[in-house]
Structure 1
């Protein structure tokens, strides 16, 4: 599960104020919540009293004093005995008026704008990629979608995402992709880029009138994938009305369970582009649903006896997995 890699646990928009959410990383469960001033907190999810899931509890607003200032924040409340824990893991026991020492060790988070990153309990081995901050500075945030836990290991999930030949199989339905015309793969260690085109079979006018969303699908999907090992793949799409950056996120929840979700950003060339934001989110959800479906129909221990052209992205993933956190030759640019 690549300990020492940074993982994007959430975009702040995915956390409702004072609504606890269960987050898993490296086989450990945490409760995460956002308080009324937008601060993010994360604690181990098991109450230190009798192990109840704190994420099944609720949040209560409270005041706290920091450097002499009284601040508004919130605490997580256990659903079993209503013990309340603040963001540092302290509680007040019944019959007492003073907070205890920390009973839970907070999960260390790195907050960059609206992005909530964590290395889990491990020492950082590679840096957090800056690309999402750059996108957020130049694109507007459309929304998030397809937040799912998939019963598969991280390596299998990443191999699927970097399998450029599966587009006209797994994603044939809806997009009607007829083939993959691969152009270039640029290997830059833990960063890579792939460029290819995907011609599609056209929908009839009648089909499009019945389902107007289909008017947004191009005759050829021009793919530019920007990859940041191991947690991020960005699909850069350019359309007549604007640009989109569809960011696919991966988080190893457990040895054989991987979470994935999409953050979508847009850059409008025409005001009408923003009208279609929800439609592009729907398309992203379809992509994830199709990937999850095929991953559930694979015999994972089958030896690979056939190698197709353009598996360079999969080779890149395997090489980085084997050498992590180091970057080794060969350079696979072609």
Structure 2
């Protein structure tokens, strides 16, 4: 369990990822939950296994109750559970005591966070609220589960040298010119440039989104350990904040997805939102692909320059896990 860093906050969803009255499965710390959003925009989550015979509640449906609240309905025997995990058994008109313990959520605007029921050891970073106030939300993409542990996922995201290898296709990154790393404990900032090989005009005309790729990609990565990396990019058309999120679903299974925000300088920027989302999808797919082609226990005999981001991850991961060995007991967390 310590490898999943209990006590850290995890962003389970942006409200736009949830359809009203549509059950949605999420996993955290080796537990599965059903999450749903009601017509008022309130979000709820219960353990995903029905307490009758273990059917997946996320495979059922939602319905409105007479008092205006909402319930998730088991697909097996149509038992309906409210947000507190109570139900009414067939042949009865009386509501049961809670049969399922709700997952405690902290909802800030459109952001749905959870500590998974563990005592908070890090505060929820306020940067997403600041970005949402300044930028326009473009959308989400690349929501997928990768069969790798959380540490390996984070090391990959903070391996600045892998850009011209893993991300060479499409972006044609020729080299990584690393400039600066600012270490602020559980927050850090990395700055580097990535010159790219050019596409021909004919290639760009065949695929207009390639016009968005600059000759040099200037990267500012804002890192909030362990759950988030934000890529800040800027062009003549506008600014983007591409937020990469990580959720430890199980010991060797990590979920990742992207929330994209933008700030237009030119009207054309608003027409290209889908293209920026597609680029994000490519980045995540390329990272997931390479993580499936690594021998995790192979000894590292070579150390490259500019592995400072990976060193930052290892240090924080080790100190956080050690500091929380005695804090693994679950407690209530109030929104």
Q: Which runs of 5+ in 1 are unaligned?
A: 65-71, 328-334
- 1:37 corresponds in structure 2 to 40
- Of 158, 165, 181, which residue of structure 1 is paired with 2:161? 165
- Of 294, 301, 304, which residue of structure 1 is paired with 2:300? 304
- 1:152 corresponds in structure 2 to 148
The CA distance in 1 between the partners of 2:51 and 2:9, in whole Å, is 27
TM superposition shift of 1:326: 8.3
Q: How does the TM-score come out when normalised to structure 1?
A: 0.95
Secondary structure of the residue aligned to 1:129 is coil
- 1:330 corresponds in structure 2 to none
The CA distance in 2 between the partners of 1:298 and 1:29, in whole Å, is 27
TM superposition shift of 1:211: 0.9
- 2:235 corresponds in structure 1 to 239
The CA distance in 2 between the partners of 1:209 and 1:283, in whole Å, is 17
Secondary structure of the residue aligned to 2:272 is helix
Task: Note the 1:1-334 alignment, pairs <5 A.
Answer: 1-64=4-67, 72-324=68-320
The CA distance in 2 between the partners of 1:289 and 1:55, in whole Å, is 26
Query: Does structure 2 retain, via aligned residues, the 8 Å contact 1:126–1:325?
Result: no
The CA distance in 1 between the partners of 2:64 and 2:93, in whole Å, is 17
The CA distance in 1 between the partners of 2:69 and 2:243, in whole Å, is 31
The CA distance in 2 between the partners of 1:175 and 1:120, in whole Å, is 37
The CA distance in 2 between the partners of 1:240 and 1:233, in whole Å, is 23
Q: How does the TM-score come out when normalised to structure 2?
A: 0.94
Q: Which runs of 5+ in 2 are unaligned?
A: 324-335
Deviations 1:70-114 (Å, cap 9, x if unpaired)? xx2210000111000000100001111111110000000000000
Q: Which runs of 4+ in 1 moved over 6 A?
A: none
The CA distance in 2 between the partners of 1:249 and 1:326, in whole Å, is 23
